[in-house]
Structure 1
Amino acid sequence: MDAVTVAGFQLAARPLDALSLWSTFTTGPSPLALAVALWLLLLFATSAYVRSVQTGSHSQVDMMWSVTPLVYVAWFTVARVNHPAPSARQWVILSLVFMWSARMTYNFARKGGYSGAEDYRWPYLRRQITNPFLWTIFNIGFICLYQHWLLLCLCWPAWQAYLHAQQPLNVVDGVATAAFVLFWIVETVADEQQWHFQNAKHAVPLSQRARHPDADVRHGFLTRGLFRYSRHPNFFAEQMMWWSLNLFSLACVWDGALRPTQLPALWTAVGALQLSALFQGSTWLTEKLSASKYGEAYRAYQRRTSRLIPLPPRRPAEKAM
């Protein structure tokens, strides 16, 4: 890691040198490629913090969330374009992450995410952290630095494929691809269902919603489709896509059978593990605010419907238990 640290500091001190060092990074040793990724992380985090101060909105990382992993994976794919050529596995991973990025960017944009509006959870947290100094530390440490670190960690399977470019495709790659695409479809369907419901709900004047024949419109939240089996099917699918991507790390060392010596290759799951931990807190806060907004109707929904993993709805009789 010494070479990584030195290269990272050199790039941070003289960013224009990155242009003249292009041929080195496309043919050179892996520490330099990793140094570029770490340098990009610092640039993204710094940009998010500066923009949050300028605009007063702390959703800067949210606006970068769907793009930065694609940048990292693309870099890990082309960084060795001449030494050696990227493997088929690297191109597959890049294609899957591009699918994820395009879908998430589109969904975020159509909801007005790039309009500058702040996610409703940040104002809530600001009301809990009233000390300006502590909020600044939280903004720098968690919102900007940690979340960008997490986004880089999600891309470690692409780094593993970069380090094992000579390993041919195998059955594990097929399983990883199929699982990723399956959960991509689930998240797409869930977001479409939520999008159409929200449009239909907001088309009804607030004064008329209480008498609307659709129970979901009356209550204000969706309980049909995939949301009948999970309160957050999109959250579930998002996490499972990144867990699926880690199967490519196993594919990098696969020799036809699963052996204990191959399991260390799954260290790359540290990113998916952090994402799942983050979703635990994020989902808890989302549900806390939803229960406060929608009252007993939402609490009844919580009692009968699984939180994340899609499961058959529980019977109403369990309400009294």
Structure 2
Amino acid sequence: MSRNLKRALVAFLVPLPSILFFLTFLNHYNASISNATPLSPLWTWCVDHPPLLVNLLFFLNVNILFWVIGQIQNSHWMIDLYWTVIPVMLGYYYAKHPLGQYTLWRSRIVMALTWVWSLRLTHNYFRREKWQWGAREDWRFNDMRSQYGKHWWWISFFSVYLSQQVFLIGICLPLYIVHSVDKPLNVWDSIAVAICLSGIVIAYFADTQLHDFVTRNEKLKELGKPVVPNLDRGLWGYSRHPNYFGEQLWWWGLVVFAWNLGHGWTFVGALVNSMCLAYVTVLVEQRMLKQEYRVQAYKVYQKTTSVWIPWFKSSSFATKDKST
């Protein structure tokens, strides 16, 4: 069996413990309702604490199991792939939980949007990895592996997995609220849909333009021709990180759904994620400036192009450059 097939099999099997546990819990709950019999203390706790249960399942199935598999494979590639899947799973968890109460059409709309977001991100992941499962792990994990050396095996549990639990559960809080409050649809739901869709579309075109740019440069390199040092066309001509901007629009669009249902506090998850992405932006730009062939072009790009929010190029630098 090839390495690619083995990793695909692992990726499909790894969420089964959580899925089977949750289905068993639902079966016991439904049986107790039908037979008018009391639930055991374990299943009663699962009914009464949906957020705690999902955090416990995440800790056991993702933090511990993914981490163990990552140690065996010497690569923490799987969490990157499951970023595209876990929000969908969380949405269905909240919808199917016995305490779930919600407007059916709002749930359908939000879950449809989440599926579209997930499929876009999953497609981009495999396109970037040349349709291989776990071909490489996130470059940030590689950098930390080199930085922490022999201590990386235990530090990775906190930096790769436990931190992901905070981010993922946090940014998906609006999915919990959508499936916890029953309130008629209104105009704010339409606004939230527009924001979410805008984010998905922007991220898709930004990632596609980046993929095409990288592919062209790879072909030029194969032909022994000079590569283009920097992508500054399309959406990348208005923002240095339009893919990040689109991704943030998506998460903040979900916050609007929750705010409309009286739970604006859920913005905390999106805010923490945005702050984290701001830090990642700095790391990405530092990485760009370490590549000699693109330093000069990227410095000009930094001075003329907006960081996140798409905007027209600044002409002040170009004017100053001509006058010197």
Residues 121/18 of structure 1: CA separation in 2 closer, same or farther (3 Å cut): closer
1:289-304 aligned at under 5 Å gives the runs 289-293=287-291, 294-304=294-304
Q: 2:66 aligns with which of 48, 60, 64?
A: 48
Contact 2:203-2:243 within 8 A present in 1 as well: yes
What CA distance in whole angstroms lies between the structure 2 residues aligned with 1:69 and 1:249?
15
Paired amino acid for 2:271 = L
Tell me whether 177-186 or 30-39 shows the greater mean CA deviation. Answer: 30-39
Residue identity in the other structure for 1:104: L
CA shift for structure 1 position 205: 2.8
Q: Map Cα deviations across residues 196-229 of structure 1 (whole Å, 9 max, x no partner).
A: 122122111356432xxxxxx431x311000001
Q: Is the 8 A contact 1:77 1:86 kept in 2?
A: no
CA distance in 2, matches of 1:245, 1:218: 37
Matches within 5 A, 1:132-211: 132-133=150-151, 135-164=152-181, 166-205=182-221, 208-210=224-226
Q: What is the root-mean-square deviation in Å for CA atoms of aligned residues? A: 2.7
Q: Percent identity?
A: 27
Does 2:235 align with 1:226? yes
Matched residues in 2 for 1:77 and 1:242: separation? 19
* Structure-to-structure mapping, 1:12-51, within 5 angstroms: 18-23=22-27, 31-42=48-59, 43-51=61-69
In 2, the alpha carbon distance for the partners of 1:128 and 1:47 equals 24
2:136 pairs with 1:117: yes
Q: Distance in 1 between matches of 2:303 and 2:101?
A: 55
How many angstroms apart in 1 are the aligned matches of 2:208 and 2:23?
A: 42
1:22 counterpart letter in structure 2: L
Q: What secondary structure, in the 3-state scheme, does the structure 1 residue paired with 2:311 have?
A: coil
User: SS at the partner of 1:129?
Assistant: helix
Residue correspondences, number: 287
Structure 1, gaps ≥5 residues long: 1-13, 211-216, 254-264
Tell me which residue corresponds to 2:284: 286
**Contact preservation (8 Å) 2:238, 2:310:** yes
Matched residue, 2:10: none
* Whole-angstrom distance in 2 between the partners of 1:34 and 1:24: 19
Cα 1:182–1:160 change in 2 (3 A) is: same
Q: Give the TM-score normalised by structure 2.
A: 0.80
Deviation of 1:171 after TM superposition, in Å, equals: 0.9
Look up the match of 1:317: 319
Q: Does the Cα contact within 8 Å between 2:305 and 2:311 map onto a contact in 1?
A: yes
Which residue is 1:87 aligned to? 104
Counterpart contact for 1:176–1:247, Cα < 8 Å: yes
Shifted more, 291-300 versus 108-117: the winner is 108-117
Q: Check 1:145–1:194 CA distance in 2 against 1; reply closer, same or farther (3 A cut).
A: same
Secondary structure (helix, strand or coil) at the match of 1:37 reads helix
CA contact (8 A) 1:229 1:311 kept: yes
Matching residue of 1:250? 259
- Separation in 2 of the partners of 1:289 and 1:48? 28
**Residue 258 (structure 1) aligns with:** none
Pair 1:78-2:96 in alignment: yes
Is 1:67 the counterpart of 2:85? The answer is yes
**In 2, distance between residues paired with 1:177 and 1:16?**
32
The 8 Å contact of residues 59 and 119 in structure 1, kept in 2 or not, is answered as yes
How many angstroms does 1:126 deviate by? 2.5
Cα distance in 2 for residues equivalent to 1:247 and 1:267: 11
**Amino acid aligned to 1:288:** Q
Query: Aligned partners of 1:270 and 1:47: how far apart in 2?
Result: 28
1:25–1:296 CA distance, 2 compared to 1 (3 A): farther
Deviations 1:129-154 (A, max 9, x none): 33x23x34431112111112211111
Give a deviation string over 1:67-90, Cα, whole Å, max 9, x none.
111110121122249x75753212
Cα distance change of structure 1 residues 205 and 41 upon mapping to structure 2, 3 Å threshold: same
The residue aligned with 1:235 is 244
Question: CA contact under 8 A between 1:49 and 1:144: conserved in structure 2?
Answer: yes
- Equivalent residues of 2:238, 2:306 under 8 A apart: yes
SS of the equivalent of 1:102 reads helix
Cross-structure match for 2:268: 270
Q: Distance in 2 between matches of 1:87 and 1:15?
A: 23
SS of 2:220's equivalent? coil
Q: Aligned letter for 2:257?
A: F
Check conservation: 2:198, 2:249, Cα contact below 8 A. Answer: no
| Alpha-carbon distance between aligned partners in 1 of 2:271 and 2:47, rounded to the nearest angstrom | 25
